[in-house]
Amino acid sequence: MPGGEAGEGSCSGFAFMTWCISGVRCSALLLALWASSAQAQAQAQAESSRTLKEVVVTATRVEQPLADLLADVSIIDRDAIERSGAASLPDVLRGLPGVEMVRNGGAGASTSVYLRGAESRFTAVYVNGVRMDSQATGGVSWEAIPLAQIERVEVLRGPAAAVYGSDALGGVIQIFTRKGDGVFSPSVSLGVGNYGTSKLDVALSGGEGHWDYALALGTESSKGFNARVQAGQNPDDDGYKSDSASLRLGAALVAGHRLEASFLGNDQNSQYDSTGVADNRNLRQVQATGLSWSGAWSDAYRTTVSVNESVERYETLPSPYVTKTLLRGYLLQNEWRAGTHLLTATLERREDLLNNASTTPRDTSRFQNALALGYGLAGEVHSVQANIRRDQDSEFGQQATGSLAYGYAITPQWRATLASSTAFRAPTLYQRFSVYGTADLQPETSRNQELALRYRQGPAQFAATVYFNEVSNLISYTARTGSCINNRPPVALSSRGCYLNTARARYRGVTLSAQSMVADVHWHASLDLQDPRDGVTGDLLARRATHHAVLGGSTRWGVWSMGAQALLSSARYDKVPNATVLPAYAVLNVSATRPLSPQWSVLVRVDNATDASYQLAETYAAAGRTLYVGLKWAP
């Protein structure tokens, strides 16, 4: 793959993308997908009860039927993950409305995920309720979250600090590992692909009496490709190796009460190119460990208690750099239900610790104590969700956030919602205490408003969401060293820049999405028209498109289950100020699965089927046509 800028003619399907992102035609396409559901009423009625019973916990931290939610939520289950055959979690997420992904090369390279155009650090990420974050870089290391261990993903778009506290300015992504249920169920999956890719996953799960369990182990590796071919870079292929494990144990020793322990761990060794010919490597380790107890004291009252810890360690070789983040969390949550009313009261404590040679002192820490209250009404016509939260930060004092959403059911299928919320993110410990740090940094804050119209009838769904999210006190790195008078420790100001609250950001846009069953094909489509801008300069934010879209479909053909998905993006700028253009692109992924016997099945997936040449980041090539073949044994 060429590593320089792609030319305008390099994007296969560019003409279709230009047609699609014009907005009007794509909107008509989405509406047509919804309207065509009349051709599949039999399937819609059969699916209706299942959809209404689907439960989501991420929106309010309380189990709620998906049909009752006022928030903008998407769900990905294990079946969808396996059918996709995707290489990584970000590859799965980029197929959802409102989500963009940027990666510096192949699947093991540094990766960012943007919800509604917001910075990657503005997405709060949880694994089985355990908070994941880096106090060095800010945000989770997406490339180190192992897809093989994931059972389900819930994606909440929009600020949620009134529920989760610091960090959720753009949204929340919650990941659930495999969970045991029923008889003993083992499975083995193995696969190979080009670029020297190989994978092996082993899992076993089950439940007997009061106990349930799930254990999964996975390993994958790839020789990769040369992501940077320009002069001065190591001409080797940039591969990776990843080993992961997850464990989830549950015990229901007393009716209505459940004790659960969970663990997720991953070790990754990935190559990257820097100046020279050294074999540069990133070594990443992530772990999430949680223990929780949930007790139903009556039909109306439930209590949840949890203690958890996460670790993210990052090291580079041969240049010596090591940083380690440790987060601890403690939660006491109470729920009261009375008919269509739900009240919640939550006490939470979060502790952040950073070990980094660039910070003074080397070990830095802080904590936040919080009280959160929530009220929900799920009526047939009127729905309300209100949340307030007060965080007491050990460094910044009180941070108060709130959210209010109202929904009106125009018909049993159509509902309009209006929501407003505030959020904040505390500066990372690295931003405050490193050699580039500034002691008096203040939290980043945001105000968000959104209006949505949604339709739901069985598998037929349509949604249109308009949002406006404005961030103040945005922390940015500045080279204006004369402004860095509060550096810690004091240094010669001419030697480097620092982090300052000098910027603002404005994220506004429209998200359209639809899915339906037409002629035995399940279609899904989304279109994002967004304007993520620097609030000071007016420049578009780096590597975010003003238009991006997804169009996909899946069906059965004999014994084969087949699917295809087109990802389309308009041109973007690589940096602020806007100078270097990353051209528009269109990527087509196709997959097919079939059973070979009651116990064996095969998966074939081709990513970038047209071998389009494109870039997600300047000087970094994306993978060309990628073939993967997998075999699964699951008796």
Distance CA 229, CA 619 (A): 8
Would you say 482 and 498 are in contact if contact means Cβ atoms under 8 Å apart?
Answer: no
pLDDT per residue over 377-418, tens digit each?
Answer: 999 999 999 999 999 999 989 999 999 999 999 999 999 999
For residues 296 and 257, is the Cβ–Cβ distance under 8 A?
A: yes
pLDDT confidence of 37, banded at 50, 70, 90?
A: very low
The predicted structure's pLDDT at residue 32: 42
- Output the CATH code of domain 8-633: 2.40.170.20
Position 155 pLDDT exceeds 80: yes
The predicted-structure confidence for 593-624, as pLDDT tens digits, reads as follows 999 999 999 999 999 999 999 999 999 999 99
State the pLDDT at residue 277: 77
pLDDT for res 438:
86
**Would residue 84 be called left, alpha or beta, if left means φ above 0 and alpha means ψ between -120 and 50 degrees?**
alpha
Q: Give the C-alpha separation, 535 to 447, whole Å.
A: 14
Instruction: State residue 51's pLDDT score.
Output: 43
Task: Report whether pLDDT(16) > 50.
Answer: no
pLDDT at 481: 57
What dihedral angle (degrees, nearest 10) is formed by the CA atoms of 537, 543, 549, 553?
A: -160
Indicate left, alpha or beta for 447 from its phi (over 0: left) and psi (-120 to 50: alpha).
beta
Spatial CA neighbour of 590 closest among 610, 612, 570: 610
pLDDT(485) > 90: no
pLDDT of 573 > 60? The answer is yes
Close Cβ partners of 399 (under 8 Å, ≥ 6 residues apart): 166, 390, 391, 392, 393, 424, 426, 443
- Give the closest residue to 101 by CA, choosing from 607, 567, 511: 567
Q: Are 563 and 601 in contact (CB under 8 A)?
A: no
Give me the residue spans of the domains in the chain: 8-633
Q: Which amino acid is at 274?
A: S
Say yes or no to pLDDT of 43 above 90. Answer: no
Peptide bond just before 635 cis, omega within 30 deg: no
pLDDT at 207: 92
Percent of the chain's residues with pLDDT above 90: 77
pLDDT tens-digit series, residues 229-276: 888 888 899 999 999 999 999 999 899 999 999 999 999 999 998 877
The pLDDT, as a whole number, for residue 466 is 98
Q: Is the pLDDT of residue 47 over 70?
A: no
Closest by Cα among 462, 399, 455, 457 to 426: 399
**pLDDT attached to residue 211:** 94
Average pLDDT of every residue of the chain: 89
pTM to 2 decimal places: 0.91
Whether the Cβ atoms of residue 563 and residue 550 lie closer than 8 Å to each other: no
Q: What is the pLDDT of residues 443-465, one digit of tens each?
A: 999 999 999 999 999 889 999 99
- Asked if the model's pLDDT at residue 563 lies above 60, the reply is yes
Give Cβ neighbours of residue 50 (< 8 Å, ≥ 6 apart). Answer: none
